Chains A and B, each alone.
Chain A
Amino acid sequence: MSVVKPYDKLRKDLSARDRSLREKVVALEDVASFVRDGDSVGIGGSTMSRTPMALIWALIRARRKSLSCSRCIISSDGDLLFGSGASDHVITSWFSQGILWGVSKVMRHHVETGKARFEEWSHLAIGMRFRAGAMGVPFMPIRPMLGSDVLAQRPEAKEIDCPFTGEKLLLVPALNPDVALIHVQRCDPYGNAQIDGLQFMDIDLAMAANKVILTTERIVSNDQIRRAPDQTKIPFFAVDAIVEVPYGSAPHECYGVYEPMMKHMEHYVELVNKDPVGGMKEYLDKYVFAPKSWAEFLDLIGLEEVLTASRAGKSIYDA
């Protein structure tokens, strides 16, 4: 299969989607039905920011497998996808829990034993792959990666001589995921989504994907969206399902709402970096499979930590 989706297929797939103005709100336990085993899944946010953690949590609980996941920078969400068996292929520029904790032992275990693939591109290359996908063109030209071994490992990218200047350029192929998972601060029941603060690559990702599932801190009325349409970053017709999940990025952060829940992150990292197999199983059993609901998962993180993260998150507006 070609690394780039043929344009005919891209257009045909989009025409087949129901893009009407309709309410798309579903329950968290129902979102897994929008994702099939083996799908390519684009993940919004970056590192520990606006990670669609509740969606990833729901996909793991539904025992999805063989997902090919792409994200500009992937953190503990990548660990969980590998560790649970939901994914065996991650496309990203950086994969570890966070700089504070060194190298992820979960990533290392899966990649070094050949259980899973970590496909590395430069950060800008990932961005331009989503951009090309969003633009409906098969590639974008960039200059980074040339001369490096990152490029030597990526036969999917093509070096060319520029037809205008004769310079060397690199063409990176469009990335059009089957599904995009994105967490936002607010959206209406139709899917008009507003993102505060850092938007990372989420707009390109949403427009590139063939299906978009949103989680939102809260659902607001369409009237409220219309009062500030300049804040709307993703239009309703690109969105296929919406779940209202307060603290849907926990234990990661959501701009202006909460900072990362660092005690939980530290607890997680200690558990899995000590034992990437047993520690991961323990974490998944306790925090992913056992809770009856996302609220119960938050309960396990603990009220005090959730409140501390919220207070810190809102302080962005004090400065």
Chain B
Amino acid sequence: MTHKSDYTAAELLAILSARQLKDGMVVFAGVGIPLLAATLAQRLHCPGLTILFEGGVIGAFVEPGKLPPSTNDQRCTVRANMVLGSAEVLLLLQRGYVDVGFMGGAQIDQYGNLNSSFIGDPKKPKTRLPGTGGGNDIASLTNMIVAMKHEKRRFVENVDFITSPGWIKGNDTRRKSGLPAGGMFRVVTELAVFGFDEKTRRMKPLALNLGVSRAQVQENTGFPLEFDSDIGVTEPPTEQELSTLRVLDPERLYIA
């Protein structure tokens, strides 16, 4: 069994989120950890995983050591089944061909809304962030898995700005806003794996990562969490998962 000192937080994130994917799925992956984790899943338990990239790629098979610097680079197309326009690939989400959307996040709230646009008041922002990209489209149209670092400033009660909608204000507010399909499904961090309550749509811990206490998760979260008394513990990364991951990203572009 591997020990905590054998892997980095980013490696743990990539491996735990790769495990969320199932063989045969169609997954729309963002750049960074999602791209890496989807590719890792493809090399391990999901040989039949179909990866879509917003640059216009269906069935990507990214080469080890040649990770694309964005999801719009030619490296994304290697051994793909099809290349198409960016609007066309995004429209597959709207039509319903995509099982899971898979993204990173800068800031998330209790209802799984993501902010990648502004820190502070949008009218006079402290920081202007790069914005949605395909994030809003993916989050609006399919079931979402988010992989992100767990820090109190990133896990807030309400995001400063909803760039990519989760369950908006909980209950049926997402559907009422005009988004009847999809929604936030899982959030994977280096501390725990989260789901969302079926009714209230609030974030809820599903399992703790090895060696992480409830108090530690709560301390790093800006809103109260409810832990089930029989909450599980995730399996630590296996040697095979770690070695496969390191072959994919030998320069540690995304797993630093």
Chain A residues near B (Cβ < 8 Å): 46-49, 72-73, 92-96, 98-100, 103-104, 107-108, 111-112, 118, 120-125, 127-128, 130-131, 142-150, 153, 159, 167-170, 197-201, 203-204, 253, 255-256, 259-260, 262, 313, 316, 319
Please determine whether B90 and A148 come into contact, CB atoms closer than 8 angstroms.
no
Listed residue (A94, A112, A125, A130) with the most chain B CB atoms within 10 angstroms of its CB? A94
**Chain B residues, CB < 8 A from A168:** 177-178
| Of A73, A98, A145, A167, most B-chain CB atoms within 10 Å | A73
Q: Which of A72, A95, A313 contacts B130 (CB 8 A)?
A: A95
Residue pair A111, B128 in contact (C-beta under 8 Å):
yes
Which bracket fits the contact residues of B?
Answer: 35 or more
Known: A94-B132, A124-B134, A143-B94. A100 touches B87 (CB 8 A): no
User: B72 near A198 (CB under 8 angstroms)?
Assistant: yes
Indicate if B63 sits at the interface (CB-CB under 8 A).
yes
Choose one: B85, B125, B128, B164; the contact of A148 (CB below 8 Å). Answer: B164
Residues of A within 8 A of B126 (CB): 112
Q: 27 A-B pairs, CB-CB below 8 angstroms? A: A47-B70, A47-B73, A48-B69, A48-B70, A49-B70, A73-B70, A93-B131, A94-B133, A100-B69, A103-B130, A104-B130, A107-B128, A107-B130, A111-B128, A122-B136, A124-B94, A148-B165, A159-B178, A167-B180, A169-B178, A198-B72, A198-B76, A199-B56, A199-B84, A200-B72, A201-B85, A203-B85
Residues of B within 8 A of A46 (CB): 55, 72, 86
Give 1 or 0 for each of B94-130: 1 = CB within 8 Å of chain A CB.
1000000000000000000000010000100111111
Q: Report yes or no: B90 in contact with A112, Cβ–Cβ below 8 A.
A: no
Whether B247 sits at the interface, judged by CB under 8 Å, is no
Docked-complex contact B77 and A197, CB < 8 angstroms: yes
Shortest A141–chain B CB gap in Å is 10
In contact, B83 and A197 (Cβ under 8 angstroms): yes
Q: Which residues of A contact B79 (CB under 8 A)?
A: 319
Chain B residue, CB-CB nearest to A203 = B85
How distant is B29 from chain A, measured CB to nearest CB, in Å?
13
CB distance from B251 to the nearest CB of A (A): 11
Do B56 and A122 have beta carbons less than 8 Å apart?
A: no
Q: Which of B54, B55, B73, B94 contacts A144 (CB 8 A)?
A: B94
Contacts of B31 in A (CB 8 A): 99
Contact in complex: A93, B178 (CB < 8 Å): no
